[in-house]
Amino acid sequence: MQLLTLFPLLFASIQAYDLVTDYSGSTFFDGWDFYGSWDNLTLGDTWWLNRDDAFKQGLAYFTPGGNPIMKVDNTSNVPFNEKRAAELTHRPQIRITTQASYGVGSLWIADFLHIPYGCSVWPAFWTKGQTWPDNGEIDILEAINLMQNNQMALHTLPGCFQPTNANDTQRGISGNIDCSTPSGCVVAETAPNSFGPGFAAAGGGVYAAQFDVSGIYIWFWSRPNIPPSVTQSTSSSAIDISDWGLPSASYPAGSCDITQFFGAQQLVIDVTLCGIWAGLPVQYLPECAAQGPTGICYNDNVVGSGENYDNAYFEVNFVRAYTTGGAVPTPTAMSDNAPASTLTATPVPSSVWTSPQGTHDAGLDNQNSSPSLSASASSARLVAPSSSAQTANTATVHGPWTGMWFTLLGAFFGALML
């Protein structure tokens, strides 16, 4: 009874939404920018292609039925080498970011038929504000390696918390509740088939997030359980979310002032390899130690023919953005390209970020500069930023446990150097 009493109070204030943008079919990619650089965000062994190269190399394309595909290269031979020595030592793939930013009062629904999975694979569907972490981050979908369940999280400045009784108002299980800590305030999905082979076998599913003054709420439904309001929606219709039931993750505004900790958000779909989560030995080895002879994520996965990445692709039915109503300006082009030569890096203390030069231990890179920790994007409800190829030259380090991985990484390499 407590659940039924509390649940409507959380987000019943807004239940009907008007469609703002439908990303689907042959025009899906028109509203997104391609990153076009190496993974300077999570230090994955990845080169995110620009738009032209993504289509030329066949990593972005459409199925015969018209669904967009974004995949990890699974045909090229990648030689072992220092990651930043040449583009050839990365494995190419895709990161895209919406040209529009969506403010408080938005709703996002993403219908995926397939999500990348496998050893070393780290996919995500998330949102980012103009500056990280000042304007917040919402991790709607994120998992690694052979995980079976999705993880959700918020990342903010100090002062935003998930309430201690959050498990009473959500289906997922809360971990850390302080959204300003390196892990963010994480919630583990409990519904089956939210990631991995199970997600694919069920025919995919739908993720949704409500970005409201009353709080931030995230849902997941496997294909057989998608509510009628979503299955009956179209590329032009409004939507009523009153049949959605309990969210998977609940972050009510009572313990986190949404307008204080979050600015307008851009949507991001990406996949990287290894990096500071999927490639960390404590995460990689329990599931993927048998993947190759070295027990190192980069060596045993990224290097070589790529045939192990046959399941590392997104197939998208649609992504839709909604608003609570009112006039909405038309977005204009904005770039998410971030060439390494123009990145503004926030140094990580040497006591945390240490690694011997010239190695690829645990699939992590040994950079001469520290990873970048802030992002530049647009900031109004549905912003029309100036068109520029260099408007987002700083980057966001995102993902559950990111800061913890840096700390563990320092300890790992410190042990190697003794």
Q: What angle do CA 79, 125, 307 make, to 5 degrees?
A: 30
pTM of the model: 0.80
Choose the weakest-confidence range: 10-24, 240-254, 268-282. 10-24
Q: Kindly list the catalytic residues.
A: 137, 142
Please say if the pLDDT value at position 417 is more than 80. no
How many residues in the chain? 418
Bridge partners (DSSP) listed for residue 35: none
Q: Give the residue carrying structure tokens 């391609």.
A: 34
pLDDT in tens, 22-35: 999 999 999 999 99
User: Exposed, middle or buried, 175 (CB in 10 Å: 0-12/13-18/19+)?
Assistant: middle
**Beta strands 37-38 and 68-71: pairing type?**
unpaired
Task: Give the burial string for 57-86 (b: 16+ CB within 10 Å, else e).
Answer: bebbeeeeeebbbbbbbbeeebeeeebbee
DSSP assignment of 41-101: TT--SEEE--HHHHHHTTSEEE-TTS-EEEE---SS-B--S-GGG-GGGSEEE-EEEESS-
Which stretch of 110-119, 229-238, 385-394, 397-406 has the lowest confidence by average pLDDT? 385-394
What single letter denotes the amino acid at residue 245? G
Q: What is the mean pLDDT of the chain?
A: 80
The pLDDT tens digits for 163-197 are 999 999 999 999 999 999 989 999 999 999 999 99
Q: What is the pLDDT of residue 41?
A: 86
Contact criterion met (CB below 8 Å) for 125 and 64:
no
What is the structure's pLDDT at 40? 85
Q: How far is CA 200 from CA 64, 117, 125, 391, in A?
A: 19, 10, 16, 36
Whether 160 has a pLDDT exceeding 70, the answer reads yes
Q: Is the pLDDT of residue 383 over 90?
A: no
Distance CA 418, CA 415 (A): 5
Q: What percent of the chain has pLDDT over 90?
A: 69
Cis peptide before 133 (omega within 30 of 0): yes
Q: Which residues are 283's β-sheet partners?
A: none
